[in-house]
Amino acid sequence: MTLEIITSDTLVPFRHGFFTRRGGASSGVFAGLNCGTGSSDQSEIVAINRARVAEAMEVPEDHLATVHQTHSADVHVVSGPVDTPKPRADAMVSNTPGVALGILTADCQPVLFADAEAGVIGAAHAGWKGALDGVLEATVDAMMTLGATRDGIVAVIGPSISQRAYEVGPEFLDAFLDEDPQNARFFANGSDDRFHFDLPAFGLHRLRTAGIAAEWTRHCTYSDADRFYSYRRATHAREADYGRLISVIRL
């Protein structure tokens, strides 16, 4: 099966893609293009999947840079192949031709950034904690240190969990209200004391407030098991583990 790659005209002319799970070598609960080296999938199979992604991005395998993601607001500047062990960060930026930045997700937001005029790219893993702590704004700031401009940067949020599938408790709501009472707009009432959180809308809000033109591809990871991995769906199904999607942009 060939790879399925979701793209956005907003990120043209940069080669990029939000890869679905289709076209990979993994099997079982990981069936498809699992690119998560932190999963319990066979490392040799994950390496095959990542090699297919590198080939699709037209870069050598060692130029597909990923980081050890920790739900932080830390940003790593990539100027060549990333060393082992991988840097601990949740975003990367680069102005080095031939480098591809890859972010792994399974419900959290993968966000790809580009400034075509400056020749600077970025990629961020923005779950609720990273987004609340400022990983998106930190990525923009890091791109600007490489020559990008706020007016020149565009961002696209890829497949993420949608509001209807993202049920949370009152303590989750409180964390957002403590940061800004107006964050209540991103929550809808659920059953009993539960709420439904709109992660992509929150990401768009943070990006646009930072002066960045942004959009969401409007794909829900939870509700489309054929195309996307989902941590929350795997948890509800009591599966032992789950695959990780990869989203990539390159210079």
pLDDT per residue as tens digits for the range 142-177: 999 999 999 999 999 999 999 999 999 999 999 999
Contact 242, 234 (CB under 8 A): yes
Q: What pLDDT is attached to residue 1? A: 65
Q: What pLDDT is attached to residue 81? A: 82
Is pLDDT above 90 for 84? no
- Taking the C-alpha atoms of residue 146 and residue 142, their distance in angstroms, rounded to an integer, is 7
Percent of the chain with pLDDT over 90: 95
Can you say how many angstroms the Cα of residue 188 is from the centroid of all Cα atoms in its chain?
A: 24
CATH topology of domain 5-162+198-246: CNF1/YfiH-like putative cysteine hydrolases (3.60.140)
Q: Which residues contact 49 (CB under 8 A, 6 or more apart)?
A: 24, 25, 26, 33, 34, 35
- Taking the C-alpha atoms of residue 152 and residue 54, their distance in angstroms, rounded to an integer, is 27
Question: Closest by alpha carbon to 131, among 100, 155, 101, 165?
Answer: 155
Element (H, E) at 136: helix 135-145
**pLDDT per position as a tens digit, 91-127:** 999 999 999 999 999 999 999 999 999 999 999 999 9
**pLDDT per position as a tens digit, 40-76:** 999 999 999 999 999 999 999 999 999 999 999 999 9
Kindly state the average pLDDT of the residues 6-10. 97
